[in-house]
Amino acid sequence: MDSSVPERRLAALVSDWYAEHARELPWRAPGVSAWAVLVSEIMLQQTPVHRVLPVWREWLARWPTPQDLAVEPAAEVIRAWGRLGYPRRALRLHECAKALVDRHAGEVPREVDALLALPGIGSYTARAVAVFAYGDRHPVVDTNVRRFVARAVTALGDAGPPRTVADLAAVEELLPADAADAARASIAFMELGALICTARAPRCADCPVYAECGWQRAGRPAATGPARKVQKFAGTDRQVRGLLMAVLREATAPVPRAALDAVWQDGTQRDRALAGLLDDGLVHRLAGDRYALPT
């Protein structure tokens, strides 16, 4: 790999580190299908690796192709999602499988624009699939990469708010010219952000970029911008939605309204949460004021 350009030296250093220290994750194994990679990327959106692992294995064993998932009732998909969180992702992934069958002959496309047009796939996931499943050359920018670039290159303590276009351009500057090298660099940046250049207590002593890190050279300045707002969970509609979904996931038959009313005291908030779930298509209302996961 050509590491004569200073910015590209970061890619070389981190890629070498990756070769020694990467976790062995099943969706990185040789020969894994693009579908399997896509499923992993959706599950990993805002959900840690160790929680995704068992569910991903179960899903790929049960639904090894998009067609297999597409023909399944939504209720089964939502149940199999279990407690990964954000069950709308499960619904989107189900819709995505159906779109793959309808529009792409059951195959996962490799073009970023085609991937972006699929339900539940945004800027990060589209490029992650194109790069990690197909080996094409694109910048892949997730929260780990943004944090790494903010520190090593921009010399800031933390990344500011996402700026998709600018973020893509900044990472593009770091990528080697060769597609395979660029793909390796992207997964390596993400892994470094996950294991070393972490949000709270970065392990700089173990970092392969220590000597080149702008943040180190600047004396590790504290984050300046407004601290990212951490969303509350306890007491919010999201908690109520989670409680309602848990009841419906575990039910083997449509449940009466009373069973849902039991999960939360505040009727106004409970009604709002249920209305939201109905609107999202995660819950269906049946005759007799009974409720169930969507068929």
Partner DNA sequence: TATCCGTGGTA
Partner DNA sequence: TTACCAAGGAT
Tokens representing 288 are 């007799």
Q: How far apart are CA 109 and CA 166, in angstroms?
A: 25
CB nearer to DNA: pick between 2 and 54: 54
CB nearer to DNA: pick between 24 and 211: 24
- Smallest separation (angstroms) from DNA to the CB of 116: 7
- Smallest separation (angstroms) from DNA to the CB of 171: 14
Q: Looking at the annotation, which residues are catalytic?
A: 41
Of the candidates 159, 130, 154, 144, the residue with the CA atom closest to the CA atom of residue 189: 144
Interface with DNA by CB under 7 A: which residues?
25, 27-28, 40-41, 44-51, 83-88, 92, 119-126, 128, 142-144, 161, 163, 190-191, 193-194, 198-201, 227-231, 233, 236-239, 241-243, 245-246, 273, 276
C-beta neighbour count of 187 within 10 angstroms:
19
CB nearer to DNA: pick between 23 and 177: 23
CB nearer to DNA: pick between 6 and 24: 24
Tokens representing 108 are 């996962």
C-beta separation of 281 from 91 below 8 A: yes
- Smallest separation (angstroms) from DNA to the CB of 186: 11
- Smallest separation (angstroms) from DNA to the CB of 70: 17
Of the candidates 129, 243, 228, the residue with the CA atom closest to the CA atom of residue 186: 129
| H or E element in which residue 153 lies | none
Tokens representing 207 are 């970092």
